[in-house]
């Protein structure tokens, strides 16, 4: 499975739901798959994609999807522990696992030498986990996750790195402005 076709699939299944994307290829391919104001690209922000998605999930009842990368999650594994502790029901993390730090030259990451992020998630108390390596299984896993009232969901999607088309960096301020303007029914402090 390639990240781009996986991204197209997730975008189709997401409907109106916000998608937060990891820096580099994950954001670039989300852009190419279909830019929408509910895409929150985290350019330059290594390791914080799923942390930002966790914060969003805790602030709204909408389904929130994080499209993270193996290298970034490895760099900030505490994110997985925080998701396991907070257990937001409306958060689905998909990790595009190409077993490398793709953007910086394709160096082999720890998932290429035995680290199993699904097991890490399990050990942090996240029970709805899957590892998939083809589009059919990804579709089943993401559909089930988005329909489930019992997140968080954690899906490791093993992908073949096939290169990617980059886009000019998107200004974080514009991403935030566009994104906020689409947000419906934010939870108020004290709710
Ligand atoms: C704090 C920090 N360290 C290093 C970098 C450089 N950097 C940018 S992307 C990247 C690799 C990210 O790997 P992964 O999350 O697996 O995504 P992939 O490129 O494989 O899609 C690195 C090391 C950075 N942007 N920020
Ligand atoms: Mg990677």
Looking up residue 147, the CATH number of its domain turns out to be 3.40.50.970
Smallest-distance ligand from the CA of 71: 1
Per-residue model confidence (pLDDT) at position 190: 73
Q: What is the mean pLDDT of each run of 10 residues along the chain (191 residues)?
A: 97 97 95 95 93 96 97 98 98 98 96 98 98 98 96 98 80 89 70 63
Domain presence at residue 191: no
Which residue segment(s) compose the domain that 60 sits in?
A: 3-179
Domain presence at residue 169: yes
Domain presence at residue 71: yes
Residue 19 to residues 14, 66, 108, 111, 162, Cα–Cα distance (Å): 8, 6, 26, 24, 22
Residues with CB under 5 Å of ion ligand 2 are: 69-71, 98, 102
Domain presence at residue 154: yes
Nearest ligand 1 atom to alpha carbon 71:
16
Domain presence at residue 158: yes
Closest residue by CA, ligand 1 atom 20:
102
Closest residue by CA, ligand 1 atom 16:
71
Per-residue model confidence (pLDDT) at position 67: 98
End-to-end Cα spacing for the chain: 42
pTM, two decimals, is 0.95
Number of domains in the chain: 1
Distance 188 CA to ligand 1 centre (A): 34
Domain presence at residue 73: yes
Of the candidates 158, 90, 73, the one whose C-alpha atom is nearest the C-alpha of residue 124 is 73
Per-residue model confidence (pLDDT) at position 191: 63
């Amino acid at each position: 499975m390639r990240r781009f076709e996986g991204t197209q699939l997730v975008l189709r299944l997401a409907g109106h739901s916000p998608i937060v994307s990891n820096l580099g290829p994950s954001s670039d391919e989300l852009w190419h798959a279909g830019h929408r104001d509910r895409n929150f690209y985290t350019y330059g922000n290594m390791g914080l994609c799923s942390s930002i998605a966790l914060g969003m999930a805790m602030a709204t009842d909408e389904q929130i999807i994080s499209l993270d990368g193996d290298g970034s999650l490895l760099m900030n594994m505490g994110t997985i522990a925080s998701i396991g502790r907070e257990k937001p029901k409306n958060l689905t993390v998909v990790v595009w696992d190409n077993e490398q730090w793709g953007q910086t030259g394709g160096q082999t990451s720890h998932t290429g030498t035995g680290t199993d992020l699904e097991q890490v998630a399990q050990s942090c108390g996240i029970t709805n986990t899957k590892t998939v390596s083809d589009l059919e299984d990804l579709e089943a896993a993401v559909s089930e996750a988005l329909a489930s009232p019992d997140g968080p969901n954690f899906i490791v999607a093993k992908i073949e790195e096939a290169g990617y088309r980059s886009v000019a960096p998107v200004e974080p301020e514009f991403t935030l402005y566009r994104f906020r303007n689409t947000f419906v029914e934010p939870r108020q402090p004290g709710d």
